[in-house]
Structure formats: structure tokens, C-alpha cells
Amino acid sequence: MNRDDLSKQWQMNLAEVRGQYEIGTLTETDMNADPFVQFAEWYSDAESACRYFPNNMILSTVDDSGAPFSRVVLLKTMDDKGFVFFTNYNSRKGQQLQSNIAASITIFWPELERQVNISGLSEKVTAAESDEYFVTRPRGSQIGAWVSNQSEKIASREILTQEKDRLEELYLDRKVPRPPHWGGFRILPSRMEFWQGQPDRLHDRLEYALNEDKWALKRLAP
């Protein structure tokens, strides 16, 4: 099979992938005045409905040339300021967020036919917040935070295994400290859109926009 044949096959296969969204509707009267509360309510629904990782979210950042990058990360906490995830600060996403603090996150819960898109600015969480979360991680994940120079080129997986073995021996009888290059980012939203799938692609989209410390709600065309 050559590339032209492959392209034709994919065009045919993907064109046949169809479905209707039918679970629920979303009206302005359904929405809490506070989008953080609304998100918490939806997340609670997702915890009950979703079998795997309801906290999966797509984080989008841009590099210095304006090129976008997206990847899945795990939402680890939400507070009255924003949404927090943790990473290696020297990773591609870590460097991009330190160079350009604008970011967006998208969470899709297919079991509920719901999506939330959040955009705004980012900030590092405090060292104390990173420490507090780090101690809750499984020991293997704590070691892993030291092992990987995330996003850097490596010659083989064996290098990671050897470094993991070395660090496990080093910290055999003591606590694993948090690496100074590892910690959290908080996304501070200025816009939060709640999406509910509807039949015939006439989806419900309700958007909160922050204006002078007040959230204004409006409906968007699907």
C-alpha cells in the first residue's frame, strides 16, 4: 500500500465514523453564577460516569515562534484561583509556559458528551504547594521525577532504567526529596466554556468571560 492508497482508505473510513449526541441539554438557567462551582459540579458527575482518568486534560502552549503544542496532562487540583498540574519545569511545556504564560486546557468527558475549554494565563505554584503534592505521589513516581530529563533526547530506554536503579539504591532507606526542577503550574482562567453535545451538531456552548473581576455568561453558536 502506498501513501495515496492509505489516504483514500482513511478518507473513506473516517467519513463513516458518525454518531449523535443525545444525553442532555444545557441552558443558561442550568449554570451556576460561578464557573468554578459549575466546573466542580461537572467534575463530580464525571468522577461517577467515567471509568478512566476523568482528570485527563489537554494542555496547549506556544513556543517562542508562536507554534502551538498540545499534550495530555493530569489535573491535580482546583482552587479559587485556577487549575493546577505538575511537571518538570525543564520540559518543553515547562519552558514554554515560563517563556509565554498564555495557555489553554480542554477536558472531554465522552461518557457525558461534555467538554470544558479554559484559557488564561499561567503561574508557577509555590514551592510549598509543590512539596505538599510531591509527598503524596507513589514512591516510583517520586523517583521518576529525578530520572527523566523530560523532553531531552536520549540514546536508549536503558539509560532511564539504569538511572532509576541507581536512584532507588541511593534513596533506599530515606525519603525521596522533590527535585528543584519539578513542580506545579496553575492556569488562571479568563474564559471558561462549557459544551454539551446535541443532536445534528447543534451543540450547546455557554461561555463565561471574566471582565473586571466579574464573570459574564453568554451563549455561543455551535
Domain ranges across the chain: 21-135+180-220, 138-177
Residue 27 CB coordination number (10 Å): 10
- The pTM for the full model equals 0.91
pLDDT for 7: 76
Instruction: Specify the pairing of strand 204-211 against strand 102-109.
Output: unpaired
201 is catalytic: yes
| Chain centroid offset of residue 218 CA | 24
Are residues 32 and 38 in contact, defined by beta-carbon separation less than 8 angstroms?
Answer: yes
pLDDT for 113: 97
pLDDT for 118: 98
pLDDT for 149: 85
| Chain centroid offset of residue 120 CA | 13
Tell which CATH classification among 3.40.50.720, 2.130.10.10, 3.30.450.20, 2.30.110.10 matches the domain 21-135+180-220.
Answer: 2.30.110.10
Q: Give me the catalytic one of 114, 166, 201, 205.
A: 201
Q: Rounded to whole angstroms, how far apart are CA atoms 202 and 204?
A: 7
pLDDT for 151: 87
**Which ranges of the chain would DSSP assign to H, the alpha helix?**
3-15, 35-49, 92-99, 127-134, 139-147, 157-170
Q: Rounded to whole angstroms, how far apart are CA atoms 103 and 93?
A: 10
Kindly list the averaged pLDDT for each block of 10 residues, start to end, along the chain of length 222: 75 78 92 98 97 96 96 96 97 97 98 98 98 97 93 91 95 96 98 97 97 96 97
pLDDT for 14: 74
Instruction: Specify the pairing of strand 182-196 against strand 83-88.
Output: antiparallel
